[in-house]
Amino acid sequence: MASAANRKAILLDDVEHLGHRGDIVAVSRGYLRNYLVPRKLAEQATNARIAEVEGLAAARASQEARTAEQAHDIAALLTKTVLTIPARTGPDGRLYGSVTAADLADEIWRSRKIRVDRRKIRLEEPIKAIGSYLVEIDVFTGVRAAVKTQVVQAEGFEFEEAPVAEAEVVAAVDASADADVVAETNE
């Protein structure tokens, strides 16, 4: 008798402990009517919608197979790529700012015309110094590419220490002398 109260539902979104988007699941009539449908998490399954969803699942499976092949081609191309990113630096090779995953995605687009989602770039923390780095990119499920990245000093930018005005030096010396006098009188 309990199975008569169950209805089939097609999930429109992932539902924790129930299933993923596009799954056909059996749920109680009240759960479907009072929780899933009002929140637009699921719809009642009809024979026509079940056939449509199963057809979409088959099409998606064949598309993923083609996409996996394309992902291997893209990964091979990215592995051969060497990105050169010019950046402004200080005297010790540290960058003013940093090179982020978004910067790397933009440079990949400029150099190879391949769109890479910045969230797929596996960069633990932004790059903050000149040097060579090996950055991994998740191209597709189970397909990863390693891109050689060189961060170099920007052309036309040489670090020069800012000239210190003589008045600033005198003021700094006077301030330290005043601090020494105050320290001696407090002792």
**pLDDT single digits (tens) 113-149:** 888 888 889 998 999 999 999 999 988 888 899 999 9
pLDDT over 70 (residue 4): no
CATH of domain 71-153: 3.10.430.100
User: Which DSSP string corresponds to the chain?
Assistant: -HHHHEEEEEESS-BTTTB-TT-EEEEEHHHIIIIITTTTSEEE--HHHHHHHHHHHHHHHHHHHHHHHHHHHHHHHHHH-EEEEEE-B-TTSEEEEEE-HHHHHHHHHHHH-----GGGEE-SS-EEESEEEEEEEEEETTEEEEEEEEEEEPTT----PPPPPHHHHHHHHHHHHHHHHHHHHH-
Q: Where are the domains of the chain?
A: 2-65, 71-153
Q: What is the pLDDT of residues 22-67, one digit of tens each?
A: 899 999 999 999 999 999 999 999 999 999 988 888 887 766 657 8
Flag whether pLDDT at 164 surpasses 50.
no
Confidence of residue 162 (pLDDT cuts 50, 70, 90): very low
Which CATH number applies to 2-65?
Answer: 3.40.5.10
